Amino acid sequence: MVLTSTATLTMGPKPVPEAPNAEEIRRLEAKLSRARAQRRAVNVAEAGTITASSAVALRSQVVFPYVENSIYEIYAAPDRMTAIELQPGEVISTENGKPKAADTVQWVSDTVMTGEGAERKTIVMVKPIITGVETNMLIPTNRHLYSILLRAESRAYMPLVAFSYPADEVKSATPTTPVAAATTEAVHEPVTVAPEDMNFGYRVKGPKVVWTPVRVFDDGTKTYLQMPPQMKSWESPALFVLEERQAPELVNYRVKGDYYIVDRLFHQAQLRIGTKHFVNIYRDERAGS
């Protein structure tokens, strides 16, 4: 059996879309410009955000390094209070002495004071009503401006948050007598580090000894090791730079307050007391050169 069709299929030319007019072109260009601006704003915000991976944990407290014009990512949880501790003597400079949050419906905040005299501190307390929401908070003070990105997560919760102030600490550091004369030397010149020049891309690995650095950063020329205050009562470690395929090199450093200052950069170094006790320091090349 042969089937035949009497229908004739005709294929005509496809219609050519009309060229956009000047008004449509203007709207498309404006839409593209807004999309580019939004992407640029997102990139700038992400680049300037300091996350918990750059912070130091002191027991249950997360300590962020304060860097001007940065955003700090803080996690809070419903039915839990997150306390954000400011610098001693620092006060919030708004009219009512309260921080400013974009979302005051799904987030609750308040402030309390603790301590006396020069050690009196402002504590900002925040709590989300539900999980899965986020907002931003500004805490302007007589010394700093804190820009906070608050995220509500039931499984990620920071009970205590504080800040360290490397720029302030380095500027105010006073020279101390070196403990190990073979590896240190006294200095009297002022030390200043611009916040925008600070590179915190370092990892510290090893046992938690009294001379384990609290923080390591550089300014592109010198490397700064912030040591625990209690280390002043202990023997100072020697500092060795470990270059690839070379023997460990003993390097000099200067002591100013709680800081060891090395007049060079390094990829890997080691603090050592004797032959069995050491702490390794690694520079993350992705964080800066």
Mean pLDDT for the chain? 80
pLDDT of 176 reads 42
Tokens of 186: 């006294």
> In the predicted model, what is the mean pLDDT of residues 128-136?
94
Res. 196 pLDDT band, cuts 50 70 90: confident
> In the predicted model, what is the mean pLDDT of residues 57-69?
81
pLDDT of 178 reads 40
Q: 152: part of which helix (H) or strand (E)?
A: strand 145-152
Question: Which has more pLDDT, 172 or 78?
Answer: 78
Given the DSSP bridges, would you call strands 82-85 and 202-205 parallel, antiparallel or unpaired?
Answer: unpaired
* Residue type (1 letter), 210: V
Ranked by mean pLDDT, which of 26-35, 103-112, 161-170, 211-220 comes out on top?
A: 103-112
Res. 183 pLDDT band, cuts 50 70 90: very low
pLDDT at 177 over 60: no
> In the predicted model, what is the mean pLDDT of residues 178-198?
51
Dump pLDDT digits (tens) for 234-283: 778 888 888 776 667 888 888 888 888 998 999 999 888 876 778 889 98
The neighbour count for residue 220, using CB atoms within 10 Å, is: 13
pLDDT of 30 reads 80
Question: Which has more pLDDT, 127 or 231?
Answer: 127
pLDDT of 253 reads 84
pLDDT at 149 over 50: yes
pLDDT of 250 reads 83
pLDDT of 181 reads 37
Q: Which of 100, 109, 157 is nearest to 131 (CA)?
A: 157
- Dihedral sign, CA of 193, 196, 197, 202? positive
Give the sheet arrangement for strand 100-101, strand by strand. 49-50, 71-76, 145-152, 134-140, 100-101
Asked whether 76 and 161 are in contact (CB, 8 A), the reply is: no
Lowest mean pLDDT among 95-104, 199-208, 236-245: 236-245
pLDDT at 185 over 50: no
